Amino acid sequence: QVQLQESGPGLVKPSETLSLTCAVSGYSISSGYYWGWIRQPPGKGLEWIGSIYHSGSTYYNPSLKSRVTISVDTSKNQFSLKLSSVTAADTAVYYCARYSSSANFDYWGQGTLVTVSS
Amino acid sequence: EIVMTQSPATLSVSPGERATLSCRASQSVSSNLAWYQQKPGQAPRLLIYGASTRATGIPARFSGSGSGTEFTLTISSLQSEDFAVYYCQLGYTFGQGTKLEIK
């Protein structure tokens, strides 16, 4: 069974960089698929942030592209998100998920709430 | 950029009745449309992919249909556990969601 688990600080100060990691178990990232980050502000809908392949190839949401970096560490079977220059608008639950060959997100982490506040 | 628009924003239905949720694309798209269910405090769960294929373990009362720009999620006989928010998704774009509430 594929499992994903997000980890990282739950509180980030404005203008700083948000950093999260997604640990994958039950499947080797090196075997394929894209792996992505999605966020959900409190009470709002889902927003795709970006995705990465095991080779390191990335796709980012154009609205966030200038601030986002997603990287992969196949030796640890995990991938990471960095979002720079955060503001209160970046407060959200951040999910990591697998993007399947059928173009959907079939496995999700439980999500982690990140609050941007001084 | 393709925009996915869901309607209605909120749908009130009684248990045992049928619910029909809509998702419209701003332009004709492939049939790689997916539907998700999200309950409070939980991650979204994949229900339907390829517009009409149920994901593993999803009950038969959930069905998807549509093509081109119009897609539909139907829940044939609502159970108490079905009241949640539903999202459609195409590629990297999500609809804004439909909240299915008890009437």
Tokens of A52: 């990465």
pLDDT of residue A83: 98
- Note whether A102 contacts B93, CB cutoff 8 Å: no
Sequence-ordered list of residues with C-beta below 8 angstroms from that of B57, at least 6 positions apart, any chain: none
DSSP assignment, residue B52? T
In degrees and rounded to multiples of 5, residue B40 shows phi and psi of -55, 130
User: Is a pLDDT exceeding 90 seen at residue B28?
Assistant: no
The yes-or-no verdict on residue A27 having pLDDT over 90 is yes
Nearest to A108 among B32, B43, B87 (CB): B43
Q: How far apart are CA B94 and CA A106, in angstroms?
A: 14
- Dihedral angle sign, alpha carbons of residues A50, A55, A56, A58: negative
Label residues B62-91 b or e (16+ Cβ within 10 Å = b).
bbbebeeeebbbebeebeeebbbbbbbbbb
Chain A residues contacting B via beta carbons under 8 Å: 36, 45-48, 51, 59, 61-62, 95, 97, 100, 102-106, 108-111
pLDDT reported for residue A53: 94
Given an 8 Å threshold on Cβ–Cβ distance, is A105 in contact with B45? no
Phi, psi of A65 (to 5 degrees): -50, -40
pLDDT band at B72 (very low <50, low <70, confident <90, very high): very high
The tally of CA atoms less than 13 A away on the side-chain side of residue A20 is 28
The pLDDT tens digits for B73-92 are 999 999 999 999 999 999 99
**pLDDT average, residue stretch A111-117:** 98
